[in-house]
Amino acid sequence: MQEKSVSEAIDFRRSVRVYDPEKTIDQKKVKKCIIQATLSPSSSNMQLWEFHHIISKYEKGKIVKSCFNQPAAKTAEQIVIVVVRKDLWRKRLDSNVTNIKSSLSKIENLDPNLKKKSLRYYNKLVPLLYSDFFGLTSFIKKIYTKVVGLYKPIYREVGSCDLRVVSHKSAALAAQSFMVSMAGIGYDTCPMEGFDSNRIKKDLDLPSKVEISMVIGCGIRKEEGVYGKRFRIPTNEIYYSR
């Protein structure tokens, strides 16, 4: 099958809720699409995500049950679960610092201030954003931004709930990249939010503080698996140029 262009892949992608059991998808190709998804942008390049590729029938059976046996999960040949790992921010921060030290040291005639600024960002600002002490730190940061924001523009999404949203946005960007990559090779997907998150975390043996962004069913569509023609709100209701 010839690979599609990005525009063709976006147009091809639909939320498929019934998959054809007679048609299979290649595990290695799905894994490649997951790897492509990791090239997606993420806030501060923190990459606070994980992708759990469910292949075995036994593991899939547990996930299907946690997804209320809905057809998009039950008929899927494989399942990909996008997990938000905000709890790993220190580890991912250290990886970024190591990368900066390594990559910038190889650039000749580099402005020495650039490396200092980059390291200062990750060593001081990022820990300030992500650290929290029983909600007290978040409260102080919120008060600070409100006061300073009276006099000048300031970044206001500094609370623990804000960082949770930021982490989910990054994971969702990666999930969309994965689904477009799958569409590019003619594979179908369906992102699901209907699931028991606690049970899925238990199924995957994940810490309780971890969050599930979405569960994505994967396979080849049956004709009845696409529920009608695509519907979108008229452009004049959602597009504004200024």
Q: Which helix (H) or strand (E) holds 217?
A: strand 211-219
Q: What is the pLDDT of residues 173-200, one digit of tens each?
A: 999 999 999 999 999 999 999 999 999 9
pLDDT bracket for residue 50 (50, 70, 90): very high
DSSP per-residue codes, 81-137? EEEE-GGGHHHHHHHHHHHHHHHHTTSTT--HHHHHHHHHIIIIIHHHHH--STTHH
DSSP per-residue codes, 131-191? --STTHHHHHHHHHHHHHTTTS------SHHHHHHHHHHHHHHHHHHHHHHHHHTT-EEEE
Q: What is the pLDDT of residues 108-155, one digit of tens each?
A: 777 878 888 999 999 999 999 999 877 788 889 989 899 999 999 999
What's the CATH number for 1-226? 3.40.109.10
Measured between alpha carbons, how far is 56 from 53 in angstroms, rounded to an integer? Answer: 9
Is 227 in contact with 198 (CB distance < 8 Å)? no
1 pLDDT above the threshold of 80: no
Measured between alpha carbons, how far is 190 from 152 in angstroms, rounded to an integer? Answer: 43
Residue spans of the domains in the chain: they are: 1-226
pTM (2 d.p.): 0.94
